[in-house]
Chains A and B, each alone.
Chain A
Amino acid sequence: MTMPYYASAEQVMRDRSEYARKGISRGRSVAVLTYADGVLFIAENPSSTLHKVGEIYDRIGFAAVGRYSEFESLRVAGVRLADVRGYSYNRRDVTGRVIANAYAQTLGAIFTEQMKPYEVELCVAEVGETPEQDQLYRLTFDGSVVDEPDFVVMGGQADAVTGQLRENFRTGLSLSDALMVGVRALSASSPALSGNGDRGLLPAGQLEVAVLDRRRPKRAFRRVVGAALGTLLGDRSAGGQAPEGTTHAHTPSAPQPGTPAGLGDPAAPDTAGGTGGSGEGSGPQPVPADGVGGGTDGGTAS
C-alpha cells in the first residue's frame, strides 16, 4: 500500500512548470512580428492542415505552439468569445485585450487546479489603425500574460530565435523584409535543417505564414500560401521587393483594400447600422481542404 505523502505547493508548481516547459520545448518555433502594414505570423509547420496560426476576429489573430489538441480548443474558444461579444454588442467592441484576458484566466485556472497543465504557449495579436496601436500579447501555460513590443517568439528554440531577431529586427519593415528576417531567424535554429552543415533557409513547404493587414477592410487576417508565398520568399533571395498585398489563398476574390463598394467598409462595421449599410467583409477566404475543426485528441507536440 502506498503512503499518502506531502508535497509543498512550491514543489507542485515547479513540477508542473517543468512538465509544461518540456512539452513546449519539443515543438518547433513560431515567430510573430510587427511590420509596416500590420502583424506577420511565421510558423515552422510542415502540415498544411493542422494550423498553428488562425483568425480570431476582424483585427485579431492567434498563434500557438505546443500540444495541438489543447491550443486548438483554446483557439475555438477564442473565436466563440469574439463572435458572441461581437454579436451581442458590436464588432468594434471585440478587442485583443478581452481575448487575452480570457486565455490568461483559463490557462491560470487549469495550471493551478488540474493535475496536468496545458503544454501550450499562445500569442494574441491585434492590428490597429496605426503601427503604434498594434498589440502582441504573449500567454504562457501558467496564465501569465505579457504585452510585448515588436515581436514574440514561442516554441522549442525560442531563445535562439529571439536572439537572432534582436539583431536583425527593425520596426516598420516591409512585408517581404519582415518575412526575410523572420524566416532567417527561424531557419538558423530549426532542427529540421540541422542535418547539413550549410544552414539554408526553410522552404515554403515547411512554413505557415499569415498576416493581419491593417489596410484590408474588416477582416484583416489572411493566409499567405501557394504562389503568393513563393513570390515573397523568391524575391527574398534576389533581394528585391515583393509585391505586397498579393497574399490571397483562394483565387476567385482578391479585393484590394478599400475597393469593393459598400463592402467591408471599416467605418460601418455592422450590418444593422442602417444607412452606412455595409456588412460582411469580403474577407480572406480560408484555404480549402483543411481539416482543422476535426477536434482530434491526443495530438502530439508539433
Chain B
Amino acid sequence: MDGLTQSHTGRSGFPPAYLDRVGSSFTDFLAQAAPDLLPSRRPVPSVQAGDLTPHGTTIVAVTYAGGVLMGGDRRATMGNLISSRDIEKVYPADSWSVIGIAGAAGIAIEMVRLYQVELEHYEKIEGLTLSLDGKANRLAQMIRGNLGAALQGLAVVPMFAGFDLDAAEGATPGRIFSYDVTGGNYEERGYAAVGSGSLFAKNSLKKTWRSGLDAGAATRTVVEALYDAADDDSATGGPDPVRRLYPIVYRVDAEGAVRLTDAEVAEVADTIIGERAAAERQDLTEATQRGSRS
C-alpha cells in the first residue's frame, strides 16, 4: 500500500483514509493507513528469540491516600549479561496515568510509545480524555496483539496505574491494573508487582504496605520492595550509589503524573541502605561480644 509514503510526506495532500471518519483510535487508524508501523502486524519469528533481546524486569506499584506510585529498577538483562544499567521502564502514559513494562525491552518501549500516542490522539480528536478503565482496556487489547511474539519468548507484560478522576466519593482514587501475556486485565488491590523480581517485591510489600499511607511512606515501600527484589533476583538492579543510578519512581495524584527527582529517590534509597547496614553491624557487634564472653 502506498499509504505509508504518502502519509510520511504529506506532499500530495491527505490520502483518503485520513479524511474518512474511521474513529478516534490511533492504532485503528494506523491499521488502515500504515499497518507496517504497528508492532502487532509484523511477522513473528519462528524460533525462540527470547535470549537475543534485552529484557526489563521488576516494576512495583502501590496505592496510597492521595493516589498511586509506580517504580521500576534500572536493569535490563540479555541471558546472563546485564545489557543496561540505566534503562527506564516506567513512563507517563498521559497526564494522569503511568505505565511500567517488563519483558522484551524493544517491543515494550515501542508499545509504550504507541500507547502514549493512542491516548493523546483520542484526547485531541474527541476533546476529552478516556476514562481510566477505558485506558486500561485499550492497553489490554494491545497486549493481546502481541501474543504471537510472546509465545516466541518476546513477551511484554506491562503494569498500568492512574488517578481516577471519576472515582466515587470515599474510594481510593489511585488504581492499579496488571496484565498477563494474553491480554488479561486484572485490577489489583493496594499493591502489585510484575517481572522476574516480582515474587520478592510482593513479599516485601506484604510486610511494609498498609492502606492509607502518605506519599512519603508509600515511596519508601516502593524503593524497599525494589531493593528486596534486587537482593534475590539477579535480573533486578539495586540502587547504585557509585554511578548515582536509582530506581525510577512516578507519583500520580490529583495534580497529575510527576516523576520523582533522582535526589528524592536517592535519599529514600540511602536511608534504607543505611538502616540495613546499621542493623547488620549491630548483629555483628552483638555476635562478637557473645563470642568474647564465652
A residues adjacent to B (C-beta < 8 A): 49, 51, 54-56, 73-74, 76-77, 79-81, 83-89, 98-99, 101-106, 108-109, 219, 252-255, 260-263, 270-272, 274-275, 277-283, 285-293, 295
User: How far apart are the CA atoms of A275 and B244 in the complex, in Å?
Assistant: 13
- A255: which B residues are within 8 A, CB to CB? 255-256
- Nearest neighbor of A284 in chain B, beta-carbon distance: B95
- B129: which A residues are within 8 A, CB to CB? 285-286, 288
A83 contacts B109, CB within 8 Å? Answer: no
B residues adjacent to A (C-beta < 8 A): 7-8, 10-14, 18-19, 21, 24, 26, 29-30, 33-34, 37, 86, 88, 91-96, 109-110, 112-114, 116-117, 119-121, 123-129, 165, 248, 254-261
- A77: which B residues are within 8 A, CB to CB? 14, 18-19
User: How far apart are the CA atoms of A245 and B128 in the complex, in Å?
Assistant: 21
User: How far apart are the CA atoms of A108 and B165 in the complex, in Å?
Assistant: 44
User: How far apart are the CA atoms of A89 and B8 in the complex, in Å?
Assistant: 9
- A86: which B residues are within 8 A, CB to CB? 117
CB<8 Å pairs between A and B, sample of 12? A76-B125, A83-B124, A84-B7, A84-B37, A102-B11, A105-B10, A252-B255, A261-B260, A263-B256, A280-B257, A286-B127, A286-B128
Residue in B19, B21, B88 whose CB lies within 8 Å of A277: B88
User: How far apart are the CA atoms of A262 and B13 in the complex, in Å?
Assistant: 36
- Nearest neighbor of A259 in chain B, beta-carbon distance: B258
A271 contacts B13, CB within 8 Å? Answer: no
A253 contacts B121, CB within 8 Å? Answer: no
Decide yes or no: A262 and B259 within 8 Å by CB, A252-B254, A271-B112 being known contacts. yes
Residue in B8, B121, B128 whose CB lies within 8 Å of A83: B121
- B112: which A residues are within 8 A, CB to CB? 271-272
User: How far apart are the CA atoms of A83 and B117 in the complex, in Å?
Assistant: 7
A263 contacts B126, CB within 8 Å? Answer: no
**How far in angstroms is the closest Cβ of chain B from A90?**
11
- B21: which A residues are within 8 A, CB to CB? 73, 76, 295
- Nearest neighbor of B163 in chain A, beta-carbon distance: A252
- B256: which A residues are within 8 A, CB to CB? 252-253, 255, 260, 263, 282
B7 contacts A293, CB within 8 Å? Answer: no
B13 contacts A292, CB within 8 Å? Answer: no
Most chain A CB inside 10 Å of its own CB: which residue of B18, B254, B255, B261: B18
A101 contacts B11, CB within 8 Å? Answer: yes
- A103: which B residues are within 8 A, CB to CB? 13
Residue in B34, B94, B126, B259 whose CB lies within 8 Å of A88: B34
Residue in A84, A99, A253 whose CB lies within 8 Å of B95: A253
**How far in angstroms is the closest Cβ of chain A from B116?**
5
A84 contacts B12, CB within 8 Å? Answer: no
**How far in angstroms is the closest Cβ of chain A from B228?**
24
**How far in angstroms is the closest Cβ of chain A from B224?**
22
User: How far apart are the CA atoms of A30 and B168 in the complex, in Å?
Assistant: 40
B165 contacts A260, CB within 8 Å? Answer: no
- Nearest neighbor of A292 in chain B, beta-carbon distance: B127
Residue in B18, B110, B127, B257 whose CB lies within 8 Å of A81: B18
Residue in A84, A290, A291, A295 whose CB lies within 8 Å of B30: A84
User: How far apart are the CA atoms of A290 and B127 in the complex, in Å?
Assistant: 6
Most chain A CB inside 10 Å of its own CB: which residue of B95, B112, B260: B95
**How far in angstroms is the closest Cβ of chain B from A243?**
19
Residue in B37, B91, B128, B259 whose CB lies within 8 Å of A287: B128
- Nearest neighbor of A88 in chain B, beta-carbon distance: B37
If A103-B13, A279-B92, A286-B126 are given as contacts, then 14 extra A-B residue pairs at C-beta distance below 8 Å, sorted by A number, are A55-B124, A79-B121, A81-B18, A98-B10, A260-B257, A261-B258, A262-B259, A277-B248, A278-B259, A279-B91, A280-B92, A280-B94, A288-B128, A289-B128
